[in-house]
Amino acid sequence: EAGVAQSPRYKIIEKRQSVAFWCNPISGHATLYWYQQILGQGPKLLIQFQNNGVVDDSQLPKDRFSAERLKGVDSTLKIQPAKLEDSAVYLCASSLEANVLTFGAGSRLTVL
């Protein structure tokens, strides 16, 4: 089966600019996750979707971060405006029945 696809792989922006990340999960996986992984730390859950509904977004900084999952398939994560502390790898993962996670390669964001 095809894996979880993410793009772009790398992005460099200036602070206060905006950026968007895209994720295409494994076909048939109802649950989709976005994690933020800052260098030296474990992945931190930002938002979890079940089909196209939000299950948990308690750790999403909603003043600058937004995410959507249209038609219960692809998802986009947007940051506007970006801050220096947003520099991280953004990981998308999907799972069948909210169980074992399959991760994408990640999108590395550098905010200057």
Partner 1 sequence: AQRVTQPEKLLSVFKGAPVELKCNYSYSGSPELFWYVQYSRQRLQLLLRHISRESIKGFTADLNKGETSFHLKKPFAQEEDSAMYYCALRGGGFKTIFGAGTRLFVKA
CA distances from 96 to 70, 73, 82, 84 (A): 18, 13, 32, 34
Which CB, 14 or 53, lies closer to partner 1?
A: 53
Give the count of residues interacting with partner 1 (CB under 8 A): 24
CA gap 29, 2 in Å, rounded = 12
Q: Does 55 bind partner 1 (CB under 8 A)?
A: yes
Q: Does 99 bind partner 1 (CB under 8 A)?
A: yes
Q: Does 32 bind partner 1 (CB under 8 A)?
A: no
Determine the interface stretch with partner 1 among 14-22, 68-76, 78-86, 100-108 (rule: CB under 8 A). Answer: 100-108
Among 26, 45, 81, 108, binds partner 1 (CB under 8 A): 45
Q: Does 5 bind partner 1 (CB under 8 A)?
A: no
Which CB, 33 or 82, lies closer to partner 1?
A: 33
CA gap 86, 107 in Å, rounded = 12
Positions of E strands within the chain:
5-7, 10-13, 19-24, 31-37, 44-50, 53-56, 65-68, 75-79, 88-95, 102-103, 107-111
Footprint on this chain of partner 1 (rule: CB under 8 A)? 3, 31, 33, 35, 40-45, 48, 55-56, 91, 93, 98-106
